[in-house]
A and B are shown apart, each in its own frame.
Chain A
């Protein structure tokens, strides 16, 4: 499993994808940091995430769309699937690599916290909590993105499916009020943003992640029979 994670990480940072992801994310964070916090002279660090969460919709698919689609298109999945590694190991290996990238970018926002701490007195606990919530949300996005990548051999389609799903999860609650209970983004807004941990929302995010990891494994296992 680690072999796969290691190779995937190498891939993220040898190709521009990893840098592009972190770069766009940090630029967006800085922008919202300026607009939401500096402009209003706020000291609530989580405000920054309130807006930058929307960026995830567009950049996580960038990271995940190639995961399985590219391997399938190039035929390299043959190498993976005929190796003694199990499908679970392969999926988890790839998932972990993307999670590492996402976590790096989330942790880099501590930089903004440091700037804020220099000028004012933000609450450390709530700030860390918002970073935690943000990380959980990104990870669940990665999980769905990975699933989307596993069902097609076209990276673009995988990306579009992910973006579409994230957009729905973003806008649906404003149309159907009940949907907010299930929306990932609202799970994040609902608790982590205001400095609380809601068990329901944490469970929602984690179970969503696990669910799509399992879906990915099943998809790949099933393909053995159809292929």
Chain B
């Protein structure tokens, strides 16, 4: 089964992923922060039973997060399959992962269940469908904590109601270079939507990748929450496509080919440099300067993080060795493209 990021979705040159996260809790157990280890194992058992005794059993695997290496755990974070918080304290926790990595269920993170569905390109509706499909399987054997007024009950009141967080990762290099993002983001934040830079520190990430997500979960339907993020994303796509015309084509081409040249020939590459260069290459694909499949670019980003690059050896390698391995991997992946 090919991984979710190897598929090309709508606008996937700009939209890296559409993600839905549902927070759910099983009735009859306290929330994880108040659970005994025994209760935690009991919840893990109940959820696994529901999935691995269902028709979907062959599509999923069970990962005992407490038994895998630190490298393996952090590589899951880098592939956006679990939260950093989830692997910081692994006791009494487990992960159920779909084979194509498009769906993951964190058990006993802040809530009993954190169901997450990922889809390539802009398609939150599809992600929600996938998340609800597995939620239905789990809830067919387990009653979920639900209150008529507050909706789905969650450990933190910020997730009450739908328990749904919809987020889109979008590449906005032209708007970023024009310096207009702050103004756009100010307007968006008034709509109960949060934006932050990802893959790097600060508001201007090296990757020019931004995450847009809803903040409000109570008093808003799932569909409406998705519609808002969807519509903001579409507007950003349009603005980004317009913004690119502000730049001299010959300069853009120079930037893109320099980035591609470095990626194709460098012998050492840090993650920071990789994010910057990959961003330029992605831009080159967006505007039709070069022709490299977006899935190849996505795979490089997801697999060459600090933990991902150590995964084959399953030991923590020195930064210098990591940089060499990363450069080798990228060279190899890009060798087919000019």
Partners in one complex: no
Chain B residues packing against A (C-beta within 8 Å)? none
Chain A residues packing against B (C-beta within 8 Å)? none
